Chain A
Amino acid sequence: MNTLEDLKTAVINGKRKEVKAIMPDLLDSGFEPSAVLEQALIPAMSVVGERFKRNEIFVPEMLVAARAMKEAMAQLEPRLVAAGIKPQYTAVIGTVEGDLHDIGKNLVATMWKGTGFEVIDLGVNVSADAFLAAIDQHKPHLVGLSALLTTTMPAMKDTVAAIRNAGHTDLKILVGGAPITDSYAAEIGADGYSRDAASAVDAARKALAA
């Protein structure tokens, strides 16, 4: 019989087929869906994130693990919904208007998914209005803005202002991208900044706990 530990190991090693086979076995043998998520999948991705942070693995290996987790989530989600369990946090993320850089933003989205957040990725070149519409629709706890161009930093600032002006004063906003700094984040009224995808999880958890 398979254990949560087996599932965790399979996710860490990115063994999608194995994950696919283990999941029904686990779920049928009475493991709570929430336990599968919290004791196997999320810890697996956090191990992967740590390994990446320590430069023990590369992004391709991390993404293989993320896809294995996705495989598990596909089977787990209906059970979670049936049990009335919602993801603890919902996040909306996007690259600000005028900016097409998305490699970094995608990695942040992957890491947030890996930590169990529901992530709505709005893509690139996202206007302030589009962020506002997504906030109304998804009622997120967290919004992530990415900007890689010095010339789109003003758009990031405007987007934060638009969100705040729309009355979302408590909504946590995290920002990132090569030209962004801690002090810029503070200056434009964001709740946090992180310099890479691995620390984006800690930054999100810290902002949400505040």
Chain B
Amino acid sequence: MKFTKLAISNPVDLIYGNAPHPITTRHGMVIGGGTVYPELNFTLPDIDIRKESMPAIARHYKQIVTDALERAAELDVPAVMLEFETLPPMTEFPDLGMEVVDILLHGIEHARDKYGLRATLRCTPNDNREFVRPPVMRGGRYLDAMLELFDRSAAAGTEFLSIESVGGKEVHDDALVNGDLRAVMFALCVLGVRDMRFLWEHIVAIASKHGAYAAGDTACGFGNTAMVLAERKMIPRLFASVVRAITAVRSLVAYECGAVGPGKDCGYENPILKAITGCPMSMEGKTAACAHLSPMGNLAAATADLWSNESVQNIKLLGGMAPTCYMEQLVYDCRLMNCASGEGKESALTLRNWLVKSDAGHDPQALIISPESSVRIAESIVRSKSHYHAGIAAARTAITILREATEGGCLPSDPRETSWLQRMEDELDEMPDTEDEFIDEMLEEVDRTKFNPDEYFFGQPHA
């Protein structure tokens, strides 16, 4: 493992607004340097994305950036991040994506001139590689188009590059609905890790070419899929919480390859990564209720350096267009946190602890990313000798934390749920000692119609 010790080893220091390695943008916004800033994310209402509909799409994005930044300025925010998460055709055809990037960059510049607002852009091309089934990960037009968009977007002035990469997901989806921890481990810590290394080498190179920041990835398609399935009572919450802990091993690879943060908002594993890397992280919680249910609306803010709303459609609400309204909500959340830390560490911690305490007893997923648990899981990861072993270690630590909590009355204990702790532990006990043995076993077990090993092991026997 590249990180062998923690950047934050005392949970007391794992707190919003402060990261050991802050980042300064071109216009002087410091992320992780003591202040929490909003990160606004937005999407289109139902509309067909084609060349012909681009004028209408352009109008949406123009309206979003103009109105939302105006609201931010009205509310005296010194700096904000906008995130442009593309929709599939915008990555597939980079010309479409770039049209939006240009609109957003222009809007940001305009707001700087008009209000002195230091806004900046994160661009997150969506990962279309799985449009081919089984996914083609290491070449082909989807990869090429995605890298082209990263490159052109950074060249145009985007400062932060992120992605929600999908390596291993073709195995993970089935693993989740089958409650299969071994397959989860294979997807995240074997396949995912290999794909992340491949992808992030490219992203880091593109970022450094243009003086942009390689920000970070997220295990959204893994951990959040599990979280949403659990909230819908489809899979056990305890299982989804253990999956969350394991996703940290996969997302960590971006930072091992040179990403510097801020980690992507929907990576609820980010507190664990912040403890390991010291990089600032974006988080989302109650203000992302527009996008999906999460059981840690308050707790997620406890360690946030940017505070996000995940995604909201550009539709009209009574208070204005939805992205503008969400900007306002983010601003007020950030004000409160910044006000608390302005009074000193003790006040900052009081608020942080309330954020944690108000959620941690309600849901295991929340408990798992609390500062205390995050540091414990982070520690087990950095002490491991490989990503495979780190996955097992993270899972074991998570199980221990969850067992303590359910047995100690800190979490509700439903036997239908708690029986899964033993089931998962048994599965971990059966895991082979070495990754090579594990790969051999899994290549036998996994459905080859959905997954092509050559896309991950690339000519090598496996490693």
Contact = CB atoms under 8 A, between A and B. Distances in A.
Contacts of B180: 60
Contact of A149 (B87, B133, B177, B178): B87
Contact of B44 (A57, A107, A150): A150
A35 to B, nearest CB: 31
B225 interface: yes
Interface string B233-264: 11110000000000000000000000000000
B391 interface: no
B87 A107 contact: no
B50 to A, nearest CB: 9
B47 A55 contact: no
- Chain A contact-residue range equals 20 to 34
Given A149-B87, A151-B87, A154-B48, A60 B177 contact: yes
B234 A155 contact: no
Contact of B88 (A63, A98, A106): A98
A202 B133 CA distance: 31
B233 A58 contact: yes
Given A58-B235, A125-B131, A107 B46 contact: no
Contacts of A63: 177-178
Nearest to B87: A151
Given A58-B233, A58-B235, A107-B177, A151 B48 contact: yes
Interface string B119-136: 000000000001101000
Contact of B234 (A59, A123, A125, A154): A59
A100 interface: yes
Interface string B173-201: 10011111000000000000000000000
A209 interface: no
A154 B48 CA distance: 6
A151 B49 contact: yes
Given A103-B177, A103-B229, A123-B133, A58 B46 contact: no
Interface in B26-54: 43-49
B211 interface: no
A118 interface: no
A63 to B, nearest CB: 6
Nearest to A67: B178
Given A106-B177, A151-B44, A124 B133 contact: yes
B179 A60 contact: yes
Contacts of B130: 100
A125 B88 CA distance: 11
B409 to A, nearest CB: 23
A123 B133 CA distance: 9
B131 A155 contact: no
A188 to B, nearest CB: 11
B338 interface: no
B361 interface: no
Contacts of A58: 179, 233-236, 416
A55 B417 CA distance: 12
A137 B99 CA distance: 42
A71 to B, nearest CB: 16
- Chain B contact-residue range equals 20 to 34
B89 interface: yes
Contacts of A149: 87
A145 interface: no
Nearest to A123: B133
A59 B88 contact: no
B54 to A, nearest CB: 13
Contacts of B313: 150
B173 A102 contact: yes
Question: Among the interface residues A56, A58, A107, A150, which one has the most CB atoms of the partner chain B within 10 A?
Answer: A58
A102 B172 CA distance: 12
Interface in B349-378: none
Contacts of A56: 416
Nearest to B57: A151
A181 B277 CA distance: 43
B233 A154 contact: no
Contacts of B179: 58-60
Contacts of B234: 58-59, 107
A103 B229 CA distance: 9
A98 B53 CA distance: 16
Contacts of A151: 44, 46-49, 87-88
B233 A55 contact: yes
Interface in A72-117: 98, 100, 102-103, 106-107
A155 B48 CA distance: 8
Contacts of A125: 131
Question: Among the interface residues B45, B173, B229, B234, which one has the most CB atoms of the partner chain A within 10 A?
Answer: B234
Given A56-B416, A103-B225, A150-B47, 4 more contacts: A55-B233, A149-B87, A150-B44, A151-B44
14 contacts: A58-B235, A58-B416, A59-B234, A60-B177, A60-B179, A60-B180, A60-B235, A98-B88, A102-B173, A107-B234, A149-B87, A150-B43, A150-B46, A151-B44
A-B pairs with the 4 shortest C-beta distances? A60-B179, A154-B48, A150-B46, A59-B234
